[in-house]
Amino acid sequence: MLALVTVGAQTPARTLAQVAGTTVVNPAAVFTDSDRRAKLATAFPAIDKVVAEFMTRTHVPGAAWGIVIDGELAHIGVAGYRDLATKSPVTRDSVFRIASMSKSFAAMSLLALRDEGKLSLDDLVEKHVPELKNLRYPTTDSPRLRVRDVLSHASGFPEDNPWGDQQLDATEDAFSRMMQQGIPFSNPPGVAYEYSNYGFAIVGRIVTNVSGQPYRQYLNEKILKPLGMTSTTLEPREVARDRMALGYRWEDEQWKLEPALADGAFGVMGGMLTSISDLTKYVGALLAAYPPRDGAEGGPIRRSSLREMQQIWRVRPATVTRTAAGTANLNSGGYGFGLGISQSCEFDQVVAHSGGLPGYGSMMRWLPSYGVGVIAFGNVTYTGWGGVVTQAFDLMAKTGGLQARMPQPSTTLVASRDAVSRLIMNWDDKAADDLAAVNLFLDRSKDRRQKEIAGLRAKVGTCTAPTAFDNVENWLRGQWTMKCERGDLNVAITLAPTMPPTVQFLDVRLAEPRPAPATCR
């Protein structure tokens, strides 16, 4: 997809040396469609219909869902009952348990401590959790467990979803005894992805020991209060009865009430309860970490740390799924810090986490480059929202409003574009030397480049200076078109890691129709 990035034609021409003597400005990527949000909103009725059909098909008693755009709750939907016995409906303020979506809150809490200089992600876990000092590792050459390993499901502990679901109310003393008795390994630490609830219970203990506060207190003071998440808690008893969505299972052609487990040592990994409006604030904070930019920080932790959570730190095996039409779709990705990260044919970066417990199923998924997210809660055991959320993004994509931010050129890239364009229109050896990185004329001699460009100019005639880029890949790489008398020239440059950033790659060719984008389907 081409991005027309316009630069004012009246900007005075500057040499690279002049730019080097000033502050280089690296602008943030921007959305270029002023009607984007209105277009996206046209998909909301269809999304609501998809949810209604899903609830009927999978016997979900009650649900709440929301569309987050640029950190705001752009749409909320509710349906069904939060309490079947009293026929109390789900409302926009109903509170659901979100299970494993709780993990990213633990990761954010730990990164807050890291940002405060109180620990390192490369610390050995045993430094902060003494019960693990005598942990027996699976092989003599196994590395000792690091903090980043438990944050990214690289601890080597076995996948433990069925077991972990029933551990929420374990006491801290019982958890300590459990660790002292040892933990079996399915892999050595740091070599493979394997989902571990146990590992995130350990994250909670690290936060408690390093902060000197119980995990839930530190989480509340450092994350929840700053975000204004007043309806979010780890303890079901703290939720008002008229707001609590009770959990059910569908069994023997009827709904059966699931008993609610109280908060305990394993609540860190899956015990959180929240509402759509509260979780919007949290997802909004993670979306607001993009794009990287100058300016004040909004919290609750540093923007760079929020982005760090949303990067792959442990790769998962790629998977192939099939669409309803039968075509194959390759998905690759891994785990960040408390969040799953993937890439699909459609989207460059997908951040998500699901949650499932007896009585509940939830999903949050967002696209950092697009500023859009979807949240969904249900109150039947392991409500599977994945397909519904995928359909929601597909429906928004069909509106034409689901477009990524477009990178903007740095002042250095603009100056380099202008200098290269002048050189193409009127070759000058000194100007060529001024803009060239040390490799440019070693890779292809100056004389050869001059002859090639002269040959192109003979074909196309006089060219005009560009005022826009066709595409800006990043602050140091871009392409543009030069309009000429008998045709156009396509020009592409990449700048070198020098100050000033001179041109290390230059390609000038006759403009040709651009091929259709490649697809992985």
With CA atoms as reference, report the closest residue to 517 among 319, 333, 346.
346
Residue 328 lies in a domain: yes
Residue with more model confidence, 17 or 198: 198
Residue 9 lies in a domain: no
- CA dist 402 to 23, 40, 70, 393, 445, Å? 34, 7, 12, 8, 45
pLDDT over 60 (residue 13): no
At residue 109, the 3 state secondary structure works out as helix
With CA atoms as reference, report the closest residue to 355 among 294, 443, 279, 452.
279
Q: Are 424 and 365 in a shared domain?
A: no
Mean pLDDT of 273-298: 97
Answer for the pair 273, 94: CB distance below 8 angstroms, yes or no.
no
Residue 302 lies in a domain: yes
Interhelix angle for 197-211 vs 172-180, to 10°?
110
Q: Are 73 and 180 in a shared domain?
A: yes
Residue 7 lies in a domain: no
Residue 249 lies in a domain: yes
Q: State the burial class of residue 151 (Cβ atoms within 10 Å of its Cβ: 0-12, 13-18, 19+).
A: buried
User: How many angstroms separate the CA atoms of 487 and 435, rounded?
Assistant: 26
Phi, psi for 83 (deg, rounded to 5): -140, 110
Q: State the burial class of residue 371 (Cβ atoms within 10 Å of its Cβ: 0-12, 13-18, 19+).
A: buried
Element (H, E) at 78: strand 72-83
Q: State the burial class of residue 498 (Cβ atoms within 10 Å of its Cβ: 0-12, 13-18, 19+).
A: exposed
Pull the structure tokens for residue 306.
Answer: 């929020």
Structure-token match 């995990």, residue found = 215
Residue with more model confidence, 322 or 186: 186
With CA atoms as reference, report the closest residue to 131 among 199, 187, 202, 63.
202
User: How many angstroms separate the CA atoms of 167 and 163, rounded?
Assistant: 7
In the listed set 385, 405, 425, which residue is the last one of a domain according to the structure? 405
Q: Are 105 and 155 in a shared domain?
A: yes
pLDDT in tens, 42-53: 999 999 999 999
Q: What is the pLDDT of residue 2?
A: 37
Quick one: pLDDT band at residue 16, thresholds 50, 70, 90? low
Q: Are 20 and 79 in a shared domain?
A: no
Q: What CATH number did the domain enclosing 294 receive?
A: 3.40.710.10
Q: Are 86 and 151 in a shared domain?
A: yes
Pull the structure tokens for residue 196.
Answer: 């571990």
pLDDT in tens, 327-352: 777 778 999 999 999 988 889 999 99
User: How many angstroms separate the CA atoms of 459 and 468, rounded?
Assistant: 23
In the listed set 378, 405, 432, which residue is the last one of a domain according to the structure? 405
- Domain limits for position 466: 15-28+407-510
What residues have CB less than 8 Å from 433, skipping those under 6 apart? none
Q: Are 279 and 323 in a shared domain?
A: yes
Residue 309 lies in a domain: yes
Answer for the pair 204, 269: CB distance below 8 angstroms, yes or no.
yes
How many CB atoms are closer than 10 A to CB 42? 14
Q: Which residues are 352's β-sheet partners?
A: 340, 365
Q: What is the pLDDT of residue 329?
A: 73
Q: Are 285 and 416 in a shared domain?
A: no
How many CB atoms are closer than 10 A to CB 51? 23
In the listed set 356, 387, 405, which residue is the last one of a domain according to the structure? 405
Q: What is the pLDDT of residue 414?
A: 97
Q: Are 411 and 474 in a shared domain?
A: yes
- CA dist 209 to 110, 125, 164, 173, 267, Å? 11, 11, 22, 14, 16
Q: Are 226 and 362 in a shared domain?
A: yes
Q: What is the pLDDT of residue 476?
A: 97
User: How many angstroms separate the CA atoms of 194 and 217, rounded?
Assistant: 29
CA angle at 497 for the pair 289 and 472, rounded to the nearest 5°: 55
Residue 6 lies in a domain: no
Residue 385 lies in a domain: yes
Q: Are 431 and 373 in a shared domain?
A: no
Q: What is the pLDDT of residue 159?
A: 96
Count Cβ neighbours within 10 Å for each residue of 295-322 and write b for 16 or more, e otherwise.
eeebebbbbebbbbbbebbbebeeeeee
Which of 82-91, 143-152, 261-270, 415-424 has the lowest average pLDDT? 261-270
Q: What is the pLDDT of residue 448?
A: 97
pLDDT over 90 (residue 27): yes
Q: Are 265 and 315 in a shared domain?
A: yes
User: How many angstroms separate the CA atoms of 312 and 8, rounded?
Assistant: 38
Quick one: pLDDT band at residue 285, thresholds 50, 70, 90? very high
pLDDT in tens, 505-516: 999 999 986 566
Q: How many domains does the chain have?
A: 2
pLDDT in tens, 378-437: 999 999 999 999 999 999 999 999 999 999 999 999 999 999 999 999 999 999 999 999
This prediction has a pTM of 0.92
pLDDT in tens, 139-178: 999 999 999 999 999 999 999 998 998 899 999 999 999 9
Q: What is the pLDDT of residue 346?
A: 87
88 Ramachandran zone, left/alpha/beta (phi>0; psi -120 to 50): beta
How many CB atoms are closer than 10 A to CB 140? 5
Q: Are 269 and 308 in a shared domain?
A: yes
